[in-house]
Amino acid sequence: MDLYEHQARELFAAHGIVVPRAEVTDSPDRAREIARGLGGRVVVKAQVKTGGRGKAGGVRLAADPVAAERAAREILGMDIKGHTVATVMLAEPVDVEREFYLSYVLDRSAGRFLAIASAEGGTEIEEVAAERPEAVVRVPVDPAEGVTSAVAARVAAAAGLPAQSVDVLVRLWEVLVHEDALLVEVNPLVRTTRGRIVALDGKVTLDDNARFRHPRPDGERAASADPLEARAAAKGLHYVRLDGEVGVIGNGAGLVMSTLDAVAGCGARPADFLDIGGGASARVMADALSVVLSDPAVKSVLINVFGGITACDAVADGIVRALEEVRLTTPLVVRLDGNNAARGRAVLAARAHPLVEQATTMDGAARRAARLATAASTAG
């Protein structure tokens, strides 16, 4: 489960990482009062679980409480990559001397975590990583050792970070371990003109499988859920919304993860993780397609199913029946393999829906879905 920025910052503060004072609201009038309490001049930030808020106009500097109210009124209700802004966070601004990047992320292929750091943080970190990969340091973390002060010092030195960041590296690792997180990220981590090291923004993804160890009030849990994730959960679907354009549906977590990797390997970004498990009935497929297609960022959908106990012809029948309930306006690529795959392909071929096409391999399906998504994005 992804957290909102303000929730990530709360975890950081609880583990001793310095963050600016801030408060969250869904009311422009309350935003004015918060700004007054924070000294007048504030940064107003949309609280959505996606990147690109600044470029979309969801982050604004307000010079006084009246400007803060106006900014909050304009940001609330804004659509940012398919996410509607329901709350804003008002934070005291800091005078930045330099920006850095820090994160710990699970490397699933290697079965360990990676420390990722750069002396060039900020909104352009993705461009830095793509154009000058040598500027971003990736250090494997031994799970048995963790991140000690010595390990943190090696990471900081390799990335060219200031000595004060060593303590943040250690504390950020504590956040990951104690909160059962899969990702913790600070971007940017800044050095202020007064020499303080402060986390200005944060991103945290928690492991849902460890939720039982971190009981939270029902209201807090509901408030932190993405609307589409909440809708999928109500239908009994295992769905996680991602920041991409290719919707992914599969049966089995391992197969879905492999499909996400295949899509990424074709130069596209997965828009979701949706595991229908062993059930591929018409009801399940209709619900799955309905959820995935409700994400306006989705430009194509890839269904990747390996027939086992549930045979591929039953899956195909479920897809055909689902198409009677769901109005398909986005291209759909289907790859069926395993038990009764040939029969399943024949069922889909007989339906001959103009927006549905088939592929025989996962890589081929991923390439086609990526191309369709790219073409749709270009045309749009």
* Amino acid 222: pLDDT: 41
**CA distances for 126 relative to 18, 39, 51, 59, 96, angstroms:** 24, 33, 11, 19, 20
So where are the chain's domains?
21-91, 96-211, 226-379
- How many other CB atoms are there within 10 angstroms of residue 52's CB atom? 13
Mention every residue, 6+ apart, whose C-beta is less than 8 A from residue 166.
149, 152, 153, 156
Question: Which listed residue (99, 185, 229, 245) is catalytic?
Answer: 185
pLDDT at residue 277 tops 80: no
* Amino acid 217: pLDDT: 42
Using alpha carbons, select from 2, 42, 3, 4 the residue that is nearest to residue 22: 42
**Residue 312 burial by Cβ neighbours in a 10 Å radius (0-12, 13-18, 19+):** buried
Q: What is the pLDDT of residues 288-329, one digit of tens each?
A: 998 999 898 999 999 999 887 778 888 898 899 888 888 888
Does 185 qualify as catalytic in the annotation? Answer: yes
- pLDDT category at 280 given cuts 50, 70, 90 is low
Sheet holding 272-275, edge to edge: 238-241, 272-275, 246-250, 300-307, 332-338, 356-359
Mention every residue, 6+ apart, whose C-beta is less than 8 A from residue 348.
316, 319, 320, 334, 336, 356, 358
pLDDT at residue 266 tops 60: yes
- How many other CB atoms are there within 10 angstroms of residue 273's CB atom? 18
209-241 burial, b at 16+ Cβ within 10 Å, e below that, comes to eeeeeeeeeeeeeeebbbebbebbeeeebbbbb
Class of domain 96-211: alpha beta
- pLDDT category at 235 given cuts 50, 70, 90 is confident
| Three-state secondary structure call for residue 186 | strand
pLDDT at residue 51 tops 70: yes
Task: Give me the torsion for CA of 373, 374, 377, 380, rounded to 10°.
Answer: -100
Strand partners for 101: 118
pLDDT at residue 123 tops 70: no
* Amino acid 88: pLDDT: 95
Fold of the CATH domain 21-91: Dna Ligase; domain 1 (3.30.1490)
* Amino acid 103: pLDDT: 94
* Amino acid 122: pLDDT: 67
* Amino acid 143: pLDDT: 84
Say how far apart CA 177 and CA 87 lie, in whole Å: 28
Q: What is the pLDDT of residues 239-254, one digit of tens each?
A: 888 889 999 999 888 8
Please state which of the four CATH numbers 3.90.400.10, 3.30.70.1380, 3.40.50.261, 3.40.640.10 is assigned to the domain occupying 226-379. Answer: 3.40.50.261
Say how far apart CA 258 and CA 313 lie, in whole Å: 22
Question: Which listed residue (4, 23, 69, 101) is catalytic?
Answer: 101
DSSP code at position 270: B
Strand partners for 169: none
Q: At what angle do helices 282-293 and 227-234 cross, to 10 degrees?
A: 170
Mean of the per-residue pLDDT values of the chain: 88
Q: Do domains 96-211 and 226-379 have the same CATH topology?
A: no
Whether 41 contacts 93, CB under 8 Å: yes
pLDDT at residue 129 tops 80: no
DSSP code at position 4: P
> What pTM did the predictor assign?
0.61
Mean per-residue pLDDT, 194-221? 77
Mean per-residue pLDDT, 8-13? 91
* Amino acid 219: pLDDT: 40
| Three-state secondary structure call for residue 262 | helix
* Amino acid 380: pLDDT: 61
- pLDDT category at 216 given cuts 50, 70, 90 is low
Q: At what angle do helices 28-37 and 65-75 cross, to 10 degrees?
A: 140
